[in-house]
Chains A and B, each alone.
Chain A
Amino acid sequence: DSGVTQTPKHLITATGQRVTLRCSPRSGDLSVYWYQQSLDQGLQFLIQYYNGEERAKGNILERFSAQQFPDLHSELNLSSLELGDSALYFCASSVQDANTGELFFGEGSRLTVL
């Protein structure tokens, strides 16, 4: 158990809909990261937050947004969903934002868009 909690574990929805994925980082971790894992794109970095502030941005679509709340949990919002958004979305956390650190990954939220 990494200590990172993601909900929901599975989600099935239709094209055009909007979903919210939730992540609770390990106790004491200030950084939260979102990654997308799909068969064709592999593991792609989406975005990082550190203590409530956006820290780094990757290949995140404009239809996607994220935020980190004062209690350090994070949410990833996916809107106007397309079939190609079907993927496993991982949240990870670390104590700081230095890139020497170890990331602790949750078990992921599997999104299926029909």
Chain B
Amino acid sequence: AQSVTQLDSQVPVFEEAPVELRCNYSSSVSVYLFWYVQYPNQGLQLLLKYLSGSTLVKGINGFEAEFNKSQTSFHLRKPSVHISDTAEYFCACSMIKAAGNKLTFGGGTRVLVKP
């Protein structure tokens, strides 16, 4: 079984400041890793994913994440946030050799961007 822990439930940040959202995972097998964003009253949307290769992954809207196998982490960063980045962010993983496409999500981190 696998689990995902998002260490911060809420992150307030000022506009144009950098933000880092922390994610750690636990799994007995190799996993793929994902970050999804949920804007108010909307469904989830994929920001980026790590499948293999370079450990630095770039996604949409200027976000990037770094996979660190030794620390079992997949932290999300953005160098300068906008008001429109106010949303809830979910880290997720799936087992590489599993049947089906089951995603295990973390508890989410609410980002509130202040002007």
Contact-residue bracket for chain B:
20 to 34
Question: Which of B20-28, B69-77, B93-101 binds A?
Answer: B93-101
Q: A90-B43, A102-B49, A103-B46 are in contact. Are A45 and B102 (CB under 8 A)?
A: yes
**8 Å CB contact of A97 from B46, B49, B100, B107:** B100
Asked whether A66 is an interface residue with its Cβ less than 8 Å from the other chain, the reply is: no
Question: Which of A13-21, A70-78, A79-87, A105-113 binds B?
Answer: A105-113
**Cβ contacts A to B, 30 pairs, < 8 Å:** A4-B43, A31-B101, A33-B101, A42-B105, A42-B106, A42-B107, A44-B105, A45-B102, A45-B104, A48-B100, A48-B101, A50-B100, A55-B99, A55-B100, A56-B100, A56-B101, A90-B44, A94-B101, A97-B99, A97-B101, A98-B101, A99-B94, A99-B95, A99-B98, A99-B101, A102-B49, A105-B43, A105-B45, A107-B42, A107-B43
